Structure 1
């Protein structure tokens, strides 16, 4: 398991931020999600100052600094920059004339100062969403990740089980590939797992006897999706004749990924079984269960009614 990392340069490129100072220090790293507006810090309270976070300066913060004397302003800014946060970002396209003192301090301390035209609240929201994904705990697993009717599914199984072939059949039915071979799982919250590719295998699907195909070139943009929230973990296994395979209700099982429990289903393989259809059925059944519907409960209710 590893943690993601984001440089200030990557942040600047992603949000098209303008660099106002310390451009040579864009290699500094952001290690914690969540933008911070230094309000209490400007009045001298630093007990809980999140120095590892991006410091965001909106119109409110800059206006406050303008109302101070030069001595007071230098003192307040100096107290913050000495903690060396990753960077400062000025929002709402505020003009450089009112930021010269801040630019000077950032240049002296080697802290990048950047600017965005977006309003403060809007920028913090989109930046936080970006950083949560990029900085999330992550692991890589072997398998295929697909999105079936908006439901993220992991397809796992031993080599040659037919994971990629099943994914291909699902793509032909209008569903989407997310990742083949190497799946990167990101933990966004205790209950949310995101599946994506590792960049190198993006859009590619390896099919035995056929070779490598690019699903976008073959089937169009609708055949691929960058990422998906994982809802089901489906394992393709060998057929076992000695097991009863017509249960009314399968026992609930889960797979644990970084502390996130994902419902686990086994689909036994046998020549002639339409595995892609079974995956679709599993996805649709999971969706109905989330809506509070149980086919078994309805069936038993009918039996009791006579």
Structure 2
């Protein structure tokens, strides 16, 4: 199971540490935040204690309306479950009772100036990606006209050079050599870099280039949804298919099936152009259009 520490949340969101600053190494294992509600009246049957607990104006105002004894009782009941941390939104200051409990129990109490709705949306998105199952593969990742493409093939086959051509045609570079795949859902695969190689593309006979420095910020993006798996292979005489529509094939990553296409390489072939065509063709199919079906329908219309 993947985990991140509370310290990573503090660093990423620039959170103010109000209490238990020595406990920022606590682990977070769940990807969605929780706003305690029923727990304040003693109902804990479904309390997700592993989640980050967010306290907005509604929760803080409710606690302030209680008597001191009730407030201490309800907060004490939640704190004893030892959630990873508490985060107070909207820069609320009326929380000395929370600070006391969190210091005693070693549970970080953090604060953000963001509103509750705004912060939870950002927090859930961050945790979903940070805690997602991931797999690193050898390849290149590009975004072609808004469509995430994974380029694979043997070392030296021309993946990086093809990516370079696509960048010069106005498409976006994501990762070279090591592509990190993150599974964000049953059918959602995200491709990104491994931070170390961010923005760098290795070209044989040229060396390492920084894509952003050479082609500008628009030539690069941090991540993209992977929807096509394209394998670049060496040309094999007599094996090129001339069928109107190829039988669908898939590559599976962490249980997610991605449409797979094989493109044999030969001097003179416009591989980047073929990748653009494959990406556009995938897009049209998602919208219910098949060129092969239209062609066959035209033939059928002529016969009848």
Compute the TM-score of the two structures, normalised by the length of structure 1: 0.96
Aligned-partner SS, 1:142: strand
Q: 2:76 aligns with which of 75, 78, 88?
A: 78
Q: State the partner residue of 2:122.
A: 126
Q: State the partner residue of 2:251.
A: 255
Q: State the partner residue of 2:44.
A: 46
- Contact 1:255–1:261, Cα closer than 8 Å, also in 2: yes
Query: Superposed, which structure 2 residues align to 1:94-133 within 5 Å?
Result: 94-95=92-93, 98-133=94-129
Query: Superposed, which structure 2 residues align to 1:147-162 within 5 Å?
Result: 147-162=143-158
**Aligned-residue offset at 1:82:** 1.2
Name the CA distance, whole Å, in 1 between partners of 2:224 and 2:205.
28
- Choose 208-217 or 132-141, whichever is displaced more: 208-217
- Contact 1:4–1:138, Cα closer than 8 Å, also in 2: no
Aligned-partner SS, 1:268: strand
**Aligned-residue offset at 1:100:** 0.4
Q: State the partner residue of 1:145.
A: 141
**Aligned-residue offset at 1:153:** 0.4
Q: State the partner residue of 1:271.
A: 267
Q: State the partner residue of 2:162.
A: 166
Question: Does 2:22 match 1:33?
Answer: no
Aligned-partner SS, 1:123: helix
Q: Deviations over 1:195-225 (max 9, x none)?
A: 0000111111111111111111111111211
Q: 1:219 aligns with which of 215, 218, 235?
A: 215
Question: Does 2:22 match 1:24?
Answer: yes
Q: Deviations over 1:112-144 (max 9, x none)?
A: 111112221221111101110111000100000
Q: Deviations over 1:264-292 (max 9, x none)?
A: 00001111111111111101111111111
Aligned-partner SS, 1:11: helix
Q: 1:180 aligns with which of 176, 179, 182?
A: 176
Name the CA distance, whole Å, in 1 between partners of 2:119 and 2:213.
35
Name the CA distance, whole Å, in 1 between partners of 2:281 and 2:114.
42
Q: State the partner residue of 1:6.
A: 4
Aligned-partner SS, 2:190: strand
**Aligned-residue offset at 1:299:** 0.5
Question: Does 2:289 match 1:305?
Answer: no
Compute the TM-score of the two structures, normalised by the length of structure 2: 0.96
**Aligned-residue offset at 1:63:** 1.6
**Aligned-residue offset at 1:244:** 4.6
CA RMSD of aligned residues (A): 1.1
- Choose 15-24 or 220-229, whichever is displaced more: 15-24
**Aligned-residue offset at 1:9:** 1.8
Runs of 4+ in 1 over 4 A off after TM superposition: none
**Aligned-residue offset at 1:245:** 2.1
Name the CA distance, whole Å, in 2 between partners of 1:126 and 1:211.
38
Aligned-partner SS, 1:193: strand
Count of residues in Structure 1 that have an aligned counterpart in Structure 2 = 302
Name the CA distance, whole Å, in 2 between partners of 1:54 and 1:246.
55
